[in-house]
A and B are shown apart, each in its own frame.
Chain A
Amino acid sequence: EVQLVESGGGLVQPGGALRLSCAASGSTFRNFWMHWVRQPPGKGLVWVSHINNDGSETTYADSVRGRFTISRDNAKNTVYLQMNSLRAEDTAVYYCARSVGGFDSWGQGTLVTVSS
């Protein structure tokens, strides 16, 4: 099983930007799709974005399309989420996850708070 560690969260003002990183252990990172999923405080899970194994395909939730960009560096075993034009409603714990059938490995999450 892969280990996933997110970083890059924090407090940012509305309209600001953050880049989240998710570092994966293991040499098979390049074989799998990766996702970002978020969870607003006290609420349910919301899928945000996915990237395929070689980075040639990405998709986004409507709520973030045009503001967020997912990317990956297979040489560094890392997936990223660049978040621009942040809004209060983007406040959440952000998880990265690997998909094999289902989302079989998750990080511990990183908290993003958008507030003035």
Chain B
Amino acid sequence: DIVMTQSPDSLAVSLGERATINCKSSQSVVFGSSNRDHISWYQQKPGQPPKLLIYWASTRGSGVPDRFSGSGSGTDFTLTISSLQAEDVAVYYCQQFCSSPYTFGQGTKLEIK
């Protein structure tokens, strides 16, 4: 199984500042001949289902603000929020969608400093 490890477990950032969350996979998440890293990022607020932010490591989901960006390749990936807004307080998860089981990271709790 591919193990997904996020860092840090929690993060406090001032409003307007940059927030960076890291995700490391235990092996490559490139699927077949697609040449795409099958990494997704999700945001989950209390009492709500997760929301897709990023897929294929760097493609923003529908309606996702452009302050959210994804980067990385191979086994190391990053979610960046360029200018933190109050509504971004949430838990963030990475996930690999390369091979079953489609494992999630343990989550990173993002708070306002």
Interface residues of A (CB under 8 A from B): 1, 35, 37, 44-47, 50, 59-62, 95, 99, 101-104, 106-109
Contacts and interface: CB of A to CB of B under 8 A. Distances in A.
B95 A46 contact: no
Given A95-B49, A102-B55, A59 B61 contact: no
Interface stretch (B19-27, B80-88, B100-108): B100-108
Contacts, number: 64
Nearest to B53: A102
Interface residues of B, number: 27
Given A103-B95, A108-B49, A45 B101 contact: no
B71 to A, nearest CB: 16
B78 interface: no
A101 B103 contact: no
Given A102-B40, A103-B50, A59 B101 contact: yes
A1 B63 CA distance: 11
A5 B62 CA distance: 20
B52 A44 contact: no
Nearest to B101: A61
B56 interface: yes
A102 B52 contact: yes
Interface of B: 1, 40-42, 44, 49-52, 54-56, 59, 61-62, 91, 93, 95, 97, 100-107
Of B50, B91, B95, most buried by chain A (CB within 10 Å of CB) is B50
B78 to A, nearest CB: 16
A46 B1 CA distance: 13
B97 A102 contact: yes
Contacts of B55: 101-102, 104
Contacts of B97: 99, 101-103
Contacts of B44: 45
Nearest to B41: A102
A49 B41 CA distance: 19
Nearest to A101: B55
B106 A101 contact: no
B102 A50 contact: yes
Contacts of B107: 44-45
